[in-house]
Amino acid sequence: MEIHAYEKLWLALALVLIVGFIGTITYGAAGAGIEMIDDEGGTVDPATLDQHPKFGDPGIERTGENSYDVYVVARQFVFEPGTTEPLRVPAGSTVTFHVTAADVIHGFEVVGTNANTMAIPGQVSEFTVQFEEAGEYGILCNEYCGSGHHVMEGKIVVMEQGEFDSWYEQQQAQGEAEN
């Protein structure tokens, strides 16, 4: 059987592409440090989110000297917090996000980073991000969630540590005064 020279060339190019795809997938899974989000975040009852100790009043909570937990509820068509008021985190800190949805499936993507997850009613997605420098990041819903999906966005403000500490203490004092 004789194979034409062009067929050999196309077969060789196809083989190179297949090896390239496999190499890219292997690098993405093992070499780039990309982690898939699993079910370690646990579950919550979406009907009683308002009574949940963390998601009832979502926001930021200091968990260590330079680590924070942020609780976010996605609902049509806002992130709480994030949309009406920005999420504020300190630069150089480790921030663990706990994200869930109150109504339908949403997405939670921090623009410009590889932080991206689905927000599913009843499930808590948990992932950790380090924001090294002060600045602003957008938050987008990347799962179609209804007619207002295109306006579902928010903002994360990464503040210098001293500026954040002042803001955080003010928020804590305000919360204690309201209770």
Q: Residue 70 — left, alpha, or beta (φ > 0 → left; ψ -120 to 50 → alpha)?
A: beta
Read off the pLDDT band of 173 (50, 70, 90): confident
In this structure, are 97 and 53 located in the same domain? yes
Longest dimension (CA), the chain: 87
Q: CA 143, CA 127: separation in Å to the nearest integer?
A: 18
In this structure, are 58 and 129 located in the same domain? yes
In this prediction, residue 27 carries a pLDDT of 87
Residue 5 maps to a domain = yes
Residue 40 maps to a domain = no
In this structure, are 134 and 80 located in the same domain? yes
Residue 30 maps to a domain = yes
In this prediction, residue 4 carries a pLDDT of 92
In this structure, are 65 and 27 located in the same domain? no
In this structure, are 63 and 93 located in the same domain? yes
In this structure, are 89 and 120 located in the same domain? yes
In this structure, are 96 and 55 located in the same domain? yes
Residue 71 maps to a domain = yes
Q: Which DSSP string corresponds to 79-116?
A: EETTSSS-EEEETTEEEEEEEEESSS-EEEEETTSS-E
Question: What does pTM read for this prediction?
Answer: 0.80
For residues 135 and 90, the answer to whether their CB atoms sit within 8 Å is no
Neighbouring C-alpha atoms within 13 Å toward the C-beta of 35: 10
> Minimal CA–CA distance to 46: which of 123, 107, 117?
123
The range of the structural domain enclosing residue 91 comes to 49-178
Please give the tally of structural domains in the chain: 2
Residue 42 maps to a domain = no
How do residues 113-144 score in pLDDT, each as one tens digit?
Answer: 888 999 999 999 999 999 889 999 999 999 99
